[in-house]
Amino acid sequence: MSGAPTRPTSAWSAETAAKSLKSMTGYAQAERVEHGFSMRVSVRSVNHRFLDLHVRLPEGFEPLEPQIRKIIRERVRRGHLDVTLRYEPAGPAALAINERVAAAYVEAVNGLRKKFGIVAEPDLLSVLRLPGVMGLPSTPLDQEPAKLEDTLAACLEEALDKLDRMRGHEGDALRQEMLRRLAHITDLAARVDPLAERARPAFAKRLETRLQELLAETQLDPVRITQEAAIAAERSDVSEELTRLASHVRQFESVLTTASDAGKKLDFLLQEMQREANTLLSKTPGHEGEGIEITTLGLEIKSEIEKLREQVQNVE
């Protein structure tokens, strides 16, 4: 662009963005009709790991692309964006008549009239249809670049404002759904805790009985067998996993309600939550009684985490 146009005051602000969880899915368009032309900017956004911009411009508008990308990068952090600019001249600007070519045709026609004694006057519409008389207007950037750039900046900002609002509405819906899933995970973990407390001594007792059966022919101290069974049972303690899982859930909730550019942070927390769920399942004692219940609850926790992961993929 030839200069830095003054951009209009926008409803969007850094403060608004910091408080808003945004989806990466949305569509918006804005249109301006002024200075003898109409301009329409449309923006379509879908999820993507990074900011992936695709800009479609009419022929002759290529010099505007760097400024378009700059404006968008100030407003959008992640997502695949298709940005399309449509331009149409209006009124007299929509017509481009090559007067020199038209005059040459008229002069040639008049010369033929005189030579052959033709009385009829040249037909203006017929002249306009002749090759080279009517053509496309010159590139608008060659005429009034400042007006064109100002209009484009205003139109693009308006479209991005609308896109922000739509993505914000989608983000609010995602937040509410994810908060419900987090509450469910918290409830499931709370049900695991008393089961695990009961499972440890029961597991130690079963293990002691089994060891005594296997080592009945050997001369081992029964107290030592009881101690080893208790140690093995203690290793199945999942209280640390439940504590860390609860901590990750609280951090997840905090990011949902306070952070901008939340997608990558939430994805990292989900990896940590998944790790705790896997460890919980691997340490679950026994295949009966409390062990089966813990396994069932642990698998349900993993399922909720996977559903959260699917939703987080669409968060900016």
Q: Are 75 and 260 in contact (CB under 8 A)?
A: no
Q: Determine the longest span between alpha carbons in the chain, in angstroms.
A: 137
More confident residue, 122 or 272: 272
Q: Are 316 and 23 in contact (CB under 8 A)?
A: yes
Query: What is the pLDDT averaged over residues 13-35?
Result: 75
Q: How far apart (Å, rounded) are the C-alpha atoms in residues 66 and 33?
A: 23
Q: Are 62 and 9 in contact (CB under 8 A)?
A: no
Q: Are 201 and 237 in contact (CB under 8 A)?
A: no
Residue 80: phi and psi, rounded to 5, are: -95, 115
Query: What is the pLDDT averaged over residues 120-132?
Result: 79
Mean pLDDT of the chain: 80
User: Each residue of 37-85: pLDDT tens digit?
Assistant: 788 999 999 999 899 999 999 888 888 999 999 999 999 988 999 999 9
pLDDT of residue 248: 96
pLDDT of residue 13: 43
pLDDT of residue 110: 85
The percentage of residues in the chain with a pLDDT greater than 90, rounded to a whole number, is 43
User: Each residue of 148-167: pLDDT tens digit?
Assistant: 888 899 999 999 999 999 99
Predicted confidence (pLDDT) at residue 298 exceeds the cutoff of 80: yes
Instruction: Give the DSSP letter string of the chain.
Output: --S-PPPPP-S--HHHHHH---BS-EEEEEEEEETTEEEEEEEEEE--SSEEEEEE--TT-GGGHHHHHHHHHHH--SEEEEEEEEEEE-GGGG-EE-HHHHHHHHHHHHHHHHHHT--SPPPHHHHHTSTTTEEPPPPGGGT-HHHHHHHHHHHHHHHHHHHHHHHHHHHHHHHHHHHHHHHHHHHHHHHHHHHHHHHHHHHHHHHHHHHHHHTTTS---HHHHHHHHHHHHHTT--HHHHHHHHHHHHHHHHHHHH-SS-HHHHHHHHHHHHHHHHHHHHT---SSTHHHHHHHHHHHHHHHHHHHHHHHTTB-
Q: Which domains does the chain have, with CATH numbers?
A: 14-91+138-166 (3.30.230), 96-128 (no CATH), 169-312 (1.20.140)
pLDDT of residue 49: 87
261 DSSP β-pair partners? none
Residue 305 in tokens: 């985490």
User: Each residue of 181-228: pLDDT tens digit?
Assistant: 999 999 999 999 888 777 666 555 565 556 555 555 565 555 554 555
Q: How far apart (Å, rounded) are the C-alpha atoms in residues 233 and 206?
A: 10
pLDDT of residue 291: 76
Q: How far apart (Å, rounded) are the C-alpha atoms in residues 47 and 78?
A: 7
Give, rounded to a whole angstrom, the gap between the first and last alpha carbons of the chain: 29
Q: Are 70 and 110 in contact (CB under 8 A)?
A: no
10 Å Cβ neighbour count for 129?
A: 10
pTM: 0.67
Query: Among 3-7, 227-231, 267-271, whose mean pLDDT is lowest?
Result: 3-7
Q: How far apart (Å, rounded) are the C-alpha atoms in residues 270 and 248?
A: 8
